[in-house]
Amino acid sequence: MIIEKEKSIIWDREVAKILRSKLTGSAYTEAKKIGKKIQIKKIWYRSQGHLVVGYMVEPKGKYVKLPCIIYNRGGSGEFGSINLGKLFLALGKMASWGYVVIASQYSGNDGGEGKDEMGGSDIKDVLNLYKILQEHPKTDLSRIGMYGGSRGGMMTYLCLAKVKWIRAAVCVAGLANLFRQKEKRPEMDSHFKKMFGGSKRECLNRSAVFWTKKISKKAPILLMHGSADWRVSPLDSLELSEKLFEANIPHKFILFEGADHGLTEFQEEKWKETRDWFDKFLKKGNSLPNLKPHGS
């Protein structure tokens, strides 16, 4: 067994108290509603020879086989890590749609061992989640999707270039060009040096716009980005979309005018697009679009 320890997280008075103090009224009400539909486990699993912390969320009830979503969190270190709010309003939301959702905090975070290299060896922490899904009786391994935001988008692109078992992907404000990131935000240069050395080669290895042709053509990608995002330039997704088009990789790109990094102003639209994308390619099993020029 790859999982060495697990702990259930239930909607109880303690969880309710914490979320009530951190969420707005409507968000709290939604989290409470979702909490009644799902079950959550915090897991400690072995990856790269050490223990890494993660989460598994699934809908309550008896199911034979369910499609799966691997959720790649954003940020680095403890910044952007999965907290109670994200558990219920992101992972839990997707699980309530009828998916087994699994996520990693990446090495070195949330009490886990090892080092977060922001797209280095910690990519194995994500890929090893597949082994956990293999051991789970409710999962359909032929229907696995991947979701990533910001740094999580970068992790998703890296995974799409390494494995063929991902059937669909959704990336929100995905980091795709680290050189642009350093140009737009000079402070990120020192951060990259801290996380993985910051060399040109390492930045290149993490920048999908330079190796788009390696990305799987069997996993349609939904790209979403806000035009007012200051954390990750929307040009990252625009450039990647152009490169995906040139490489004949199926994808859809949505630019939300005036939206910030987390698409705060368009939450309803973001989640609707996400659900429709995964349902289309994972639940309904729609065929890939015809990318050859055609029509009258």
Domains along the chain? 3-283 (3.40.50.1820)
Q: Residue 62: what pLDDT?
A: 80
What is the arithmetic mean of pLDDT over 167-173?
98
Q: Residue 204: what pLDDT?
A: 98
pTM as predicted: 0.97
Q: What is the 3-state secondary structure (H, E, C) of the chain?
A: CCEEEEEEECCCHHHHHHHHHHCCHHHHHHHHHHHCCEEEEEEEEEECCEEEEEEEEEECCCCCCEEEEEEECCCECCECCCCHHHHHHHHHHHHHCCCEEEEECCCCCCCCCCCCCCCCCCHHHHHCHHHHHHHCCCEEEEEEEEEEECHHHHHHHHHHCCCCCEEEEEEECCCCCHHHHHHHCCHHHHHHHHHHCCCHHHHHHCCHHHCHHHCCCCCCEEEEEECCCCCCCHHHHHHHHHHHHHCCCCEEEEEECCCCCCCHHHHHHHHHHHHHHHHHHHHCCCCCCCCCCCCC
Question: What tokens does 228 get?
Answer: 């007012």
Q: Residue 171: what pLDDT?
A: 98
Q: What band does 191 get if pLDDT is binned at 50, 70 and 90?
A: very high
Q: Is the pLDDT of residue 1 over 80?
A: no
Q: Residue 63: what pLDDT?
A: 75
DSSP 79: B
In the chain, the percentage of residues whose pLDDT exceeds 70 is: 100
Q: Residue 64: what pLDDT?
A: 79
Q: Residue 45: what pLDDT?
A: 98
pLDDT digits (tens, 9 = 90+) for 26-73: 999 999 999 999 999 999 999 999 999 999 999 998 877 999 999 999
Q: Residue 88: what pLDDT?
A: 98
Q: What band does 117 get if pLDDT is binned at 50, 70 and 90?
A: very high
